[in-house]
Amino acid sequence: MAALLGDRYELDGVLGRGGMAEVRRAWDTRLGRQVAVKILHRDLAEDDTFRARFRREAHAVAALSHPAIVAVYDTGETDIDGLAVPYIVMEYTEGRTLRALLDEGFRPTPWQALQVVDDVLAALEHSHRAGIVHRDIKPSNVMVVDAVLRPGGIKVMDFGIARPLDGEGAVTATTQIVGTVQYMAPEQVRGGPVDARSDVYATGCLLYELLTGRVPFTGGTALQIAEQHLRETPVPPSRLNPGLPAQTDAIVSRALAKDPGERYQSAAEMRADVRRAMTQPQPPAAAPHSPGPAPTMILERPYDDEDGGPSTATAPRRRSGRGRIALLMTLFALVLAGAAAGVTYLLVAPEHRTVEVPNVVGLAQASAERTLTDAGLRPDTRQEFSAEQAAGFVTRSEPEAGRTLTEGDRVVIWVSKGPEQITVPEVAGATEAEARQRLQDLGLLVVTRQEPSDTVERGGVVRSEPAAGSTVERGATVILYLSSGPALPEVPDVTGRSEAEARAVLEEAGFTVLVQDVPVGGADTPDTVVAQNPAPGSAAAQGTQVTIWVARAPGQPVPPTVPTDVPVVPPTIPPTVPPLG
């Protein structure tokens, strides 16, 4: 394999391997940035089905632009041992998969579990609006890029089996069942049509695992697990993890409904319930069991008798003069110490108590303001554009969560106005570098495609999609169509015409003509063209020689023909091949 893909990407180490492809780190020499390149396995590249599936992933994700989805920058093909193997150039992200973290024993808090699912649902909400169903939501397809799992701390990846929705919002059933059985919706198990609600079911399985440490259904074989998805109801998460927020059982139960009509009908609907659960206070952690409150105990020093022996319960105790003096001195010292402590408190105690800034990022504005007010702080609300948080939700605070303030201090919170809207500029006629720079300066991502153009020089920008003047979100992907040069003319269809007519039509179109004679067939008309090469409708450069085969009756004199040009004569079709009619 070439070390420089597409004359642009310098390949580096392997980041991972899967059943379909290998992912390698690479350096984009043109834009000077780190990228990840996903290359289809060579043996699979020989299979048209896998090639189509790989290209489908590229096209599906290239149409998506969301902070929680790994972005696709470019696509292409590279030659490996004479075979064109497709590759995808993607955003490079530092992190680890949620699967790897869970396998190492990581157990998220309920809030972290809900936050992960909130981000996953945000990504799905975006992809479903674009008409794309993921069909394989699971921990290994969730990349954790923030170890604290704050809002925006994950990215959904691997749309390798994603499919577009049909006109009725469903993916047509096929004979092939795709997905991972532990997270597969009942309709996927049956091989029936799937839609956005199938992704909701898989996300419910993911939430269940994050809350409990296990998937909803387990078994010795994939078939056993699939049967449970069809017939059994999972144990409520709170029975496996007491102390979960009250709403989590209801969210999981609705997401895992067997009938799609009883589930959340969209990722947005499930996300609304998840966000409501995140705003509720979590119950205190369960304390170790004890039979009751510990009794109050007064510890007394047993005073000794004069002879040094221990006092007894039966003998009345008599304190010596020395004992009484010691007791009085001790009490006097305690009084002095108490007085000193009181004076010290009055001198150094703050006028107000200190409080810790609560985390309000990701909360709705009203909820965030109430949380700060309840903590004794004064919220100061401002607005800003944000692609990470939906409109009306807090993006950040100043000071940040965890800082210590004095009661009554002000905390500034920024509330999202939604993604910033960008107008796509006119870039037609510009060079690729100029157009790319203009779009990236506006915060837009760029993917390139090629198409023929008679008016734009090779390599120049023909048009953009979305078109100039369109309004998109900051961070959206714009496709630049670069000129591959003038479109080649099509070879006219001259079959059935006379030799003279055929010659005239082809020469008018800019082609040269070579005539070959063949015996007339049963359905052929003498002196007419029965075949041609290149075939009708083929794209060919002007000046290309077109060979026509003309039917001749036995004994018929052949009119003298002189080719208009005879550069290179293609192999003559043997007389036994026609008639072609």
Tokens of 32: 């000077």
**What sign results for the dihedral spanned by CA atoms 119, 120, 123, 129?**
negative
Among 94, 183, 194, 92, residue whose Cα is nearest residue 139: 183
Residues 6+ apart with CB under 8 A from 262: 254
Distance CA 159, CA 142 (A): 11
Is 38 flagged in the annotation as binding? Answer: yes
Phi/psi at 259 (5° precision): -85, 120
With the C-alpha atoms ordered 488, 489, 490, 495, is the resulting torsion angle positive or negative?
negative
Active site amino acids? 136
Please give the full DSSP string across 328-341, using - where no structure is assigned.
HHHHHHHHHHHHHH
Give 95: exposed, middle or buried? Use CB within 10 Å, 0-12, 13-18, 19+.
middle
Tokens of 39: 């290359």
Go through 337-355 and write b for each residue having 16 or more CB atoms within 10 A of its CB, e for each that does not: eeeeeeeeeeeeeeeeeeb
Measured distance CA(218)–CA(229) in Å, rounded: 10
Tokens of 225: 């697990």
Cα–Cα distance for residue pair 554/531, rounded to 1 Å: 19
**Start-to-end Cα distance in the chain:** 47
β-partners of residue 235 are none
Number of helices followed by number of strands (H, E) in the chain:
14, 24
Copy the structure tokens of residue 311. 């006092």
Q: Evaluate whether 235 touches 156 at the Cβ level (below 8 Å).
A: no
Say how many C-beta atoms besides its own lie within 10 A of residue 134's C-beta.
29
Nearest C-alpha neighbor of 97 from the set 138, 127, 37, 134: 138
| 571 prior amide bond cis, ω within 30 | no
Token representation of residue 353:
């108590």
Residue 64: CB atoms within 10 A of its CB come to 21
* Binding site feature residues: 38
* Binding site feature residues for ATP: 38
